């Protein structure tokens, strides 16, 4: 929409693009590389008066038309993911995108995509940790004077829907816990101010598998090490053997945990494991 300023110049309002999405699955939460992967339907809505026909000779035709074949001939928003590391558009049978235009020039652009996002994870309380990860959406080239992204408000529907899913090692986030925010005010850079939308996920790790594979075996190993207190002081081979086996068991458990952590964290975890092993086996030697 255009308007005339006080000095007589014609000013254009920024194009408003409404966004919503449906997350089909969270395929993987990778602690080692600090990333997570999503499958989703990404939908964008905007109006282009150049494509409307409700006030022209074709106004008798009231149905929307799908024109995916004309994608290269249309203006499309330059939406990108600021914290995206890798992604692709699904192309099984046909490229999975839809472009639909109604008589008023309203456009729906929908895509099925898989995207891998970076997430700075805090692992101090691993494996009893809860990670806060986000998806940051923005315009790559158009400043806010040209293009704005907004979350689409459609009655009681939330702009970010969740499909039925299960996530390995984590509890599935609830739809009500997902935050869809407008972060445009804080997205200015040295090249200008750009539109920004953010989705925040809360991922809580399941403790069950670590109880059975790490905690309970470690408790049993430490309990066995206490048998040294009931072994005769003169039975040196028995005391040494029991102490060495206990230490090896603790170190093996520690290494299995280290292999599931980023390398920078592993060094600290290895030191902690050695200290734990020394304290857990006070009677060694």
- Mean pLDDT, consecutive 10-residue stretches, the chain (285 aa), reads 47 89 92 93 95 81 90 95 96 94 95 96 88 95 94 89 88 89 88 95 88 82 82 81 81 75 52 48 44
H or E stretch at 268 = helix 263-280
Running DSSP on this structure, what letter comes out for residue 145?
T
Instruction: Classify residue 1: in a domain, yes or no.
Output: no
| Same-domain status, 115 and 217 | no
Q: Give the Å distances, CA to CA, from 30 to 121, 135, 173, 199.
A: 10, 15, 16, 19
Based on the structure, what is the number of domains in the chain?
Answer: 2
Predicted pLDDT of residue 247: 81
Picking from 169, 204, 239, the residue at the C-terminal end of a domain is 204
| Same-domain status, 42 and 89 | yes
| Same-domain status, 91 and 146 | yes
**N-terminal to C-terminal alpha carbon distance within the chain:** 83
Predicted pLDDT of residue 67: 92
The SS3 of residue 253 is helix
Instruction: Classify residue 6: in a domain, yes or no.
Output: no
CATH of the domain at 261: 1.20.58.390
Instruction: Classify residue 285: in a domain, yes or no.
Output: no
| Same-domain status, 196 and 249 | no
Predicted pLDDT of residue 7: 54
Instruction: Classify residue 5: in a domain, yes or no.
Output: no
| Same-domain status, 130 and 233 | no
Picking from 174, 204, 234, the residue at the C-terminal end of a domain is 204
Instruction: Classify residue 4: in a domain, yes or no.
Output: no
Predicted pLDDT of residue 57: 77
CB 278 within 8 A of CB 243: no
| Same-domain status, 128 and 236 | no
CB 16 within 8 A of CB 46: yes
Instruction: Classify residue 3: in a domain, yes or no.
Output: no
Q: Give the Å distances, CA to CA, from 122 to 32, 119, 210.
A: 12, 9, 18
| Same-domain status, 200 and 214 | no
CA distance 96 to 216: 47
Burial of 139-165, coded b for 16+ CB within 10 Å and e otherwise, reads beebbbeebbbbbbeeeeeebbebeee
Main-chain phi, psi angles of 90, to 5 degrees = -70, 140
CB 250 within 8 A of CB 218: yes
| Same-domain status, 199 and 261 | no
State which residues form the domain around 269.
Answer: 208-280
| Same-domain status, 60 and 107 | yes
Instruction: Classify residue 271: in a domain, yes or no.
Output: yes
Q: Give the Å distances, CA to CA, from 193 to 47, 48, 67, 85, 188.
A: 22, 23, 32, 22, 4
| Same-domain status, 187 and 226 | no
Q: E strands within the chain?
A: 2-4, 10-12, 15-30, 35-47, 65-66, 79-81, 84-89, 97-101, 106-118, 130-143, 147-151, 160-162, 179-182, 188-189, 192-204
Predicted pLDDT of residue 59: 75
| Same-domain status, 109 and 144 | yes
CATH of the domain at 33: 2.70.170.10
| Same-domain status, 180 and 214 | no
Predicted pLDDT of residue 274: 47
Picking from 159, 180, 204, the residue at the C-terminal end of a domain is 204
Q: Is 254 exposed, middle or buried (0-12, 13-18, 19+ CB in 10 A)?
A: buried
Instruction: Classify residue 2: in a domain, yes or no.
Output: no
């Amino acid at each position: 929409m255009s308007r005339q300023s006080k000095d007589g110049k014609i000013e254009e309002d920024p194009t408003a693009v409404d966004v919503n999405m449906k997350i089909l699955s969270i395929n993987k939460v990778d602690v080692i590389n600090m990333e997570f992967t999503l499958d989703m339907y990404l939908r964008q809505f905007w109006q282009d008066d150049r494509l409307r026909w409700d006030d022209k000779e074709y106004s008798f035709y009231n149905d929307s038309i799908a024109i995916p074949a004309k994608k290269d001939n249309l203006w499309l928003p330059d939406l990108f993911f600021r914290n995206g590391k890798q992604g692709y558009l699904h192309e099984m049978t046909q490229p999975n995108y839809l472009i639909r235009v109604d008589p008023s020039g309203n456009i729906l652009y929908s895509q099925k995509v898989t995207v891998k996002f970076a997430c700075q994870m805090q692992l101090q309380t691993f494996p009893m940790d809860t990670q806060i990860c986000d998806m940051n959406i923005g315009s790559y080239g158009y400043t806010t004077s040209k293009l704005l992204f907004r979350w689409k408000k459609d009655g009681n529907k939330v702009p970010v829907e969740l499909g039925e899913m299960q996530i390995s090692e984590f509890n599935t986030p609830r739809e009500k816990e997902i935050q869809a925010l407008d972060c445009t005010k804080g997205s200015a850079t040295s090249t200008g101010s750009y539109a920004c939308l953010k989705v925040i996920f809360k991922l809580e790790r399941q403790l069950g598998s670590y109880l059975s594979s790490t905690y309970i075996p470690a408790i049993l190993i430490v309990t066995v090490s206490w048998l040294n207190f009931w072994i005769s002081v003169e039975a040196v081979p028995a005391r040494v053997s029991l102490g060495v086996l206990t230490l090896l068991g603790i170190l093996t458990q520690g290494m299995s945990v280290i292999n599931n952590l980023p390398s920078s964290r592993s060094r600290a975890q290895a030191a902690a494991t050695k200290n734990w092993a020394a304290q857990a086996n006070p009677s060694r030697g």
